[in-house]
Structure 1
């Protein structure tokens, strides 16, 4: 039987340091999707914007947003994922939550903090990769700057979908485009990147370029405007590509320290 996953990529602007306004904004988008979806993907730090001063926001907002994701996933029967500034154990992490329709969730903490913006000064770095099983697919979630580090995202665990959420600014968006396609090709997997749109108070402009690439690097969807993109990925297509072109059999072995 054919196994497909219908995915909605939400390319949106973000209200700066306004979690409640962002939750209201994304609730409206998710409740009013024009097509059916199994998984909804929101950008990096979708509840605040890419802030280096998370202490200016109530520490409880992270848990409020997680509870909102759980409630909306249960209501809509769709999985919802995206990252937020999350306070736990005395420090913040840039944490991606993957909330399933039954309300259960898994999370991934951003491994590569963006030192150019001083992210390492405000957020603790993650230490482990995560593989999430959902809808017949093995999904490897990552966050923004992780995209620049191919060893960290190397397909050593037979994942099917490599997923990046981001606040990736317009001046460097050509790198975003090139690296998303490269990660798909080298890992023989679908690769999705969901970026925000609009401006933030730090003077950064974001022009989207959210996209999905298949295992051969073919672009399936792409956008530069504020909208929801829809894509359906196929396990059969992926299996056929891997069986015909067995490139992963020849990959290098290594150990991450």
Structure 2
């Protein structure tokens, strides 16, 4: 149980469809983190880039990436979160892994596959929301396109932190900025988005804009460059703001049926 949660967001270019090079690159970046952090966030599909050709990857790469995450989580004594291409039960998934320092993992399959890129035809969509407990904070991790759907993210579980890992392209980056702030305000939770930078193998540009917003939508950190961003989340900020502004008590009552 902690009163604060220290976050590191790794904003980086990605090697196109090259898990080996991406893992080597991120290992260097993680090793360079000297601050005491509780959670390290990596972008969406951090081992490959946002590929619609998962058959170009060895199906064993997913399990290799999980073992790498477990090894690095133990080494850094920090949870690590990011999504990867994962093959299971005759389907590809855009699957997020939240890996605890002790090696325990929680998973979330992207609910809203990006139809504009044909992701819905390549990856099996998820149907279950994940809310997990970590060091006294309730965290809800989601993936990229999920950001456009506020009902899916609606805070009916009283979570403290909403996380988005993404490959969000330059032409629509204003929507990314706007929606991250909106999700924080409407859910009265910290909202964190980590995006990649650089150009992918299809020629799409990614401008970063990784950011952290507090419960009132105030931006705590933001960047357009290749770097590690840091932020501290404060439990008292969440509690005191919700006690003063009881907006969540007036939320609509509904439940998910999958």
Question: TM-score under structure 1 normalisation?
Answer: 0.98
Residues 1:246 and 2:246 are matched in the alignment: yes
Please report the RMSD computed on the Cα atoms of aligned residues, expressed in angstroms.
Answer: 0.9
Q: Is the 8 A contact 2:7 2:37 kept in 1?
A: yes
Corresponding residue number in structure 2 for 1:3: 3
User: 1: CA distance between counterparts of 2:154 and 2:116?
Assistant: 24
- 1:223-249 Cα offsets, whole Å, 9 max, x none, are 011100000000011100100000000
For structure 2, the residue ranges without an aligned partner over 5 or more in a row are none
Q: Is the 8 A contact 1:11 1:197 kept in 2?
A: yes
Question: TM-score under structure 2 normalisation?
Answer: 0.98
Q: How many residues align?
A: 257
For structure 1, the residue ranges without an aligned partner over 5 or more in a row are none
User: 2: CA distance between counterparts of 1:75 and 1:162?
Assistant: 25
Residues 1:181 and 2:181 are matched in the alignment: yes
Q: Is the 8 A contact 2:2 2:135 kept in 1?
A: no
- 1:164-196 Cα offsets, whole Å, 9 max, x none, are 000000110000000000000000000000000
Residues 1:148 and 2:148 are matched in the alignment: yes
Structure 1 residue 2: Cα displacement: 6.2
Report SS of the residue matched to 1:124.
coil
Q: Which ranges of 4 or more aligned residues in structure 1 deviate by more than 4 Å?
A: none
Q: Is the 8 A contact 1:9 1:42 kept in 2?
A: yes
- 1:200-225 Cα offsets, whole Å, 9 max, x none, are 12111000000000010000000011
- 1:33-61 Cα offsets, whole Å, 9 max, x none, are 14221100000000000000001110000
Q: Is the 8 A contact 1:2 1:234 kept in 2?
A: no
Structure 1 residue 254: Cα displacement: 1.9
Corresponding residue number in structure 2 for 1:225: 225
User: 1: CA distance between counterparts of 2:255 and 2:4?
Assistant: 32
Corresponding residue number in structure 2 for 1:117: 117
User: 2: CA distance between counterparts of 1:143 and 1:232?
Assistant: 22
Q: Is the 8 A contact 2:2 2:136 kept in 1?
A: no
